[in-house]
Amino acid sequence: MKIEKIYGFLDALSPFELQEEWDNSGLLTGSLDDEVEQVCISLDIDSDMADKALPKTLFITHHPLIFKGLKRLDFSRYPSNILKTLIQKNCALIAMHTNIDKTHLNRYVAENILGFKIEKSEGFVCYFETDKSFDELASHIKKRLALDNLKVSKAHERIKRVAFCTGSGGDLIEKIEADCFISGDFKYHQALCANENKISLIDIGHFESERYFSQMLGEHLKNFPLKVIITNCKNPFEYK
């Protein structure tokens, strides 16, 4: 199957034009006329996945492997090492990042994984209602995401309105209108800001919140006449 057909399907599902200006979603290696024999979906691509890939594999990742402009291709260093392997094997790579966040991923995790019903979406942020104590909500999140611990900042004892965003949502804090904001990668000064503005925070981690990308997208590609491999890269962090 030509990449053009798969790319067209993905663009109809979540238009690439919806990506943020700073993003680099779309076809990153290969050409639309290339033929591929299987699809591999992952949050990211690492060197182990590239080394084990069969020739003519199309990778669809959430995070773009090429994010900023590359001024030099040093094949001993990331990401050039992975690009070299992909090119040698005639493998292609499509990234679906901020576009799929807005249209599918945030809603999917909030509803299908966390079990809440989205009532409103504004860009990256989904809103839903609940009626739980902060500790009850945190325990619910831990159980649903199978996490051993959470980093939290409590500004309310009772939570009714919740804002949710996968990945790294800290830069959105000043726009949040909710009792609690659930996202990942919150920084110290962002937590100070949220606390002063009476917004509780629950940090669920970047990898931990976005690892469902493969599962979500795989459901949309299950009827494609190609082998679709749903996998994931390894979390670069360990918790001890």
User: Is residue 79 reached through a cis peptide bond, with omega within 30 degrees of 0 on the bond before it?
Assistant: yes
Distance CA 110, CA 199 (A): 19
Phi, psi values for residue 132, rounded to 5°: -135, 155
Q: Which fold has domain 101-207?
A: 3.40.1390
Is the pLDDT score of 111 beyond 90? yes
Residue 34 — pLDDT band, cuts 50, 70, 90? very high
**Superfamily of structural domain 3-96:** NIF3 (NGG1p interacting factor 3)-like (3.40.1390.30)
What are the residue ranges spanned by the domains of the chain? 3-96, 101-207
Verify cis geometry, omega within 30 degrees of 0, for the bond prior to 225.
no
pLDDT of residue 68: 85
The count of other CB atoms within 10 Å of the CB of residue 136 is: 13
**Do 3-96 and 101-207 come out as alike in CATH topology?**
yes
Instruction: Give the pLDDT confidence score for residue 239 in this predicted structure.
Output: 84
**Is 203 in contact with 151 (CB distance < 8 Å)?**
yes
**pTM of the shown model:** 0.96
Residue 6, pLDDT score: 97
Q: How far apart are CA 207 and CA 115, in angstroms?
A: 19
Please give the distance of CA 163 from its chain centroid, rounded to a whole number: 17
The fraction of the chain above a pLDDT of 90, given in percent, is: 95
Beta-carbon contacts of residue 118 (< 8 Å; ≥ 6 apart): 107, 110, 111, 126, 127, 128
pLDDT at 69 over 90: no
* pLDDT score at 240: 83
